[in-house]
A = this chain, B = another copy of it.
Amino acid sequence: MSPSRGHTQHTQLGRPLPTLFIYTSIPIALTLIAHPLLPLFVPQDILDKFPLPPQPTYPALQANVGFALLAFIGAVLSVPKVGEAFIAKGLKGWDQLKKGSNRNTGPWIPECLGLPCASLYLLLMMLFIPFPFSHIFQGTTQHGPGREAFPKGELTLYLTSLLSLMTATMLGFIDDMFDIRWRHKLPIPLIAAVPTLVVYYAEGGWTWVVLPASLGKLLSYLGFGGWEGTKSIDLGFLYYVYLALLPTFTTNSINIVAGVNGVEVTQAFIIALSVAFNDLLFLPVWPRWLLVLLGNIGNPDEGRVLSWAAGEVVKRHLMSLYFMVPLIGVTAGFLWHNWYPASAFPGDTFCYFTGMAFAAVAIQGHFSKTMILFFLPQIFNFILSCPQLFGLVECPRHRLPHFNASTGLLTPSRVVFDKPPPFKTKITLEILEFFGLTEIERVPVHEESGSTKTSKNGDAKAHPTGSKKPTRIMAASNLTILNYLLVVFGPMHEQTLCLALGAVQVASSALAFGIRYGVGSLVYGGDRR
């Protein structure tokens, strides 16, 4: 992991490549991809002489893993190659949490390298089209109905998702190029979702929501007239509003937890892993007892029973896997260069692109509620940020943690109050402090004028409040999940903080699975597609 920084005065050309891994992976990837193709293109008499290993149950999924490996290798190789060109075109940033880094002189780190990653991913996803959708595979590698016998309609969903992803990438790049204002940025993921939503509509999309039986019982207790079992209601237009807000949510919630090397990419990586894991649970390859043990995951009989609905659910999750597995590959490849100390920054392009990927599979796969569960840390961050976003507490332009050059550690960044904050701010901060969500620094009232500015960096410790003198709030840690982690665990190294956030993301994915398959099956009583 030793970085090769400082190749030149101004650029950092990325860490050394994992050469051995790359050169062993390429043949593995190509074998995974070529294996399902061989029976189609190699004459039968040759195959009789040199028999192939038996075809997997999911040949397209095997090829997909091959493409994911190529995505990883491609990202690792291409990011340092294009970095110089990005810096030359002004797509560059300075690393605010490094010693000797400066807004005017750098060292410059190429920004917006989500672009080559997204381009690579999209190209590979285009080349993958024949595997699940080609007529040539129908009948030859099909092991029974409901497995990989994709109807043409699925190709439409696939193409629509690609179109939305491509739009998100392009808009993200335009945003990175022209620095679109925050207000104008918000609807961008919505525009990118247009293909998905329009095709969802044109195909006569599903706008029903299943209400849990327990809600019916609750309503009947309250005297509103309940119902027995689950009930579906048609949300109609409102459902489209919900679907339209989903990409805005997934995109911006990744984008907002940023500023520390590797943190955006780590989030996307773990969410993609979680979605893929969830998808895998729906494939009819697990022993029934395991699924029952795990709380009836994925309706254990789905995929085995050859009913229409069961096949549908398997297909949707297979489709989601096709998008998530290469996304894991490309994200891991980019993380190689974005990890502390970063030699490439993701830019908004990366956040738009990954956010749209999550939204697209959730919409097309009909598992948007499960997807939202995987964003628990981001939702926590958003709720924690609300007092600052909505003006209850002052919001400085940057809220990323503060770098203490003498210790080399990060401490929470602070919002500093030059005069006593208004009552609403005071009460908000004190409530947050009570729950341990912020760290407040107080000064005795008579000391007010002098020392406020100097402690802006947040290195000063809070004054002991037991001194009886009347005090006032002078500073509070900024309300983000990254600062919260620093408040809870104390000052940390940048890399440790990124790891901590990754750990939180993993833990909340575990919690999400618990909610989805534990609480969810109690609430919905088994009918959860």
Q: Name A's B-contacting residues (CB within 8 A).
A: 85, 89-90, 115, 119, 122-123, 126-127, 129-130, 133-136, 152-153, 155-156, 159-160, 162-163, 166-167, 169-170, 173-174, 177-178, 191, 194-195, 198-199, 201-204
Q: Which residue of B lies closest to A180 (CB)?
A: B85
| A123 pairs with B89, CB closer than 8 A | no
Nearest residue (CB) in B for A195 is B126
Specify which chain B residues have a CB less than 8 angstroms from the CB of A134 in the assembled complex. 201-202, 204
Q: Are A130 and B198 in contact (CB under 8 A)?
A: yes
Which residue from chain B places its CB closest to the CB of A201 in the assembled complex? B130
Can you name the residue of chain B whose Cβ is closest to the Cβ of A125?
B195
Minimum CB–CB distance from A135 to chain B (whole Å) comes to 4
Question: Is the beta-carbon distance between A127 and B159 smaller than 8 angstroms?
Answer: no
Cβ-closest chain B residue relative to A196? B126
Least CB distance, A154 to chain B, in whole angstroms? 10
Which chain B residue lies CB-closest to A135? B204
Lowest 4 CB-CB distances: which A-B pairs, in order?
A: A159-B159, A134-B202, A135-B204, A129-B198
What B residues does A115 contact at CB under 8 A? 174
Instruction: State whether A152 touches B156 (Cβ < 8 A).
Output: yes
A170 in contact with B178 (CB, 8 Å): no
Give the nearest-CB partner of A85 in chain B.
B178
**Which of A153, A159, A198 counts the most B-chain CB atoms under 10 A from its CB?**
A159
Q: Measured between alpha carbons, how far is A166 from B122 in the docked complex, in Å?
A: 11
Question: Given the complex, which residues of B lie within 8 Å of A153, measured CB to CB?
Answer: 152
CA A178 to CA B81, docked complex, whole Å? 13
**Nearest B residue to A164, CB-CB:** B126
Partner of A129, one of B85, B130, B177, B202: B202
Contacts A152-B153, A166-B170 supplied; 7 other A-B pairs, CB < 8 Å = A122-B167, A126-B194, A135-B203, A155-B156, A159-B195, A166-B166, A177-B177
Give chain A's interface secondary structure class: helix
User: Is B166's CB under 8 angstroms from A202's CB?
Assistant: no
A170 cross-chain contacts in B, Cβ below 8 A: 119, 166, 169-170, 173
What residue in chain B is nearest A170 (Cβ atoms)?
A: B170
Measured between alpha carbons, how far is A138 from B227 in the docked complex, in Å? Answer: 36
Contact partner of A155 (CB less than 8 A), chosen from B129, B173, B202, is: B202
For A205, give the chain B residue with the smallest CB separation.
B135
Chain B residues with Cβ below 8 Å from A169 are 170
How far, in whole Å, are A166 and B174 apart by their CA atoms in the complex? 14
Q: Complex Cα distance A173/B191, Å? A: 19
CA of A85 to CA of B162 in the docked complex: distance in angstroms? 29
Which B residues lie within 8 Å of A174 (CB)?
A: 115, 119
Q: What CA separation (Å) do A367 and B115 show in the bound complex? A: 35
Q: Is the Cβ of B166 less than 8 Å from the Cβ of A127?
A: no
A86 to nearest B CB, angstroms? 8
Closest approach, in angstroms, between the C-beta of A205 and any C-beta of chain B? 10
Q: Which residues of B contact A152 (CB under 8 A)?
A: 152-153, 156, 203
Q: Which residues of B contact A89 (CB under 8 A)?
A: 90, 177-178
Residues in B neighbouring A204, C-beta threshold 8 A: 134-136
Q: List 29 A-B contacts (CB under 8 A).
A: A89-B90, A89-B178, A115-B174, A119-B170, A119-B174, A122-B167, A126-B194, A126-B198, A127-B194, A127-B198, A129-B195, A129-B198, A129-B199, A130-B201, A133-B202, A134-B204, A135-B202, A135-B203, A136-B204, A152-B152, A155-B156, A155-B203, A159-B159, A159-B160, A159-B199, A162-B163, A163-B166, A169-B170, A170-B170
* Cβ distance A327 to chain B, nearest Cβ, rounded Å: 18
Contacts of A127 in B (CB 8 A): 194, 198
List the B side residues contacting A178 at CB < 8 Å: 85, 89
Closest Cβ neighbor of A199 among chain B residues: B129
CB proximity of A111 to chain B, nearest CB, Å: 13
Shortest CB–CB separation between residue A139 and chain B, in angstroms? 12
- The CA-CA distance from A62 to B269 in the complex, in Å, is 46
CA distance A177 to B178 in the complex (A): 12
Q: How far is the CB of A85 from chain B (nearest CB, A)?
A: 5
Shortest distance between the CB of A432 and any CB in chain B (Å): 40
- Once A163-B162, A194-B123 are accepted as A-B contacts, the answer to whether A199 and B90 lie under 8 Å apart by CB is no
Q: Please, which residues of chain B bring their CB within 8 A of the CB of A159? A: 156, 159-160, 163, 195, 199
Q: For the complex, give the distance between the alpha carbons of A195 and B123 in Å.
A: 9
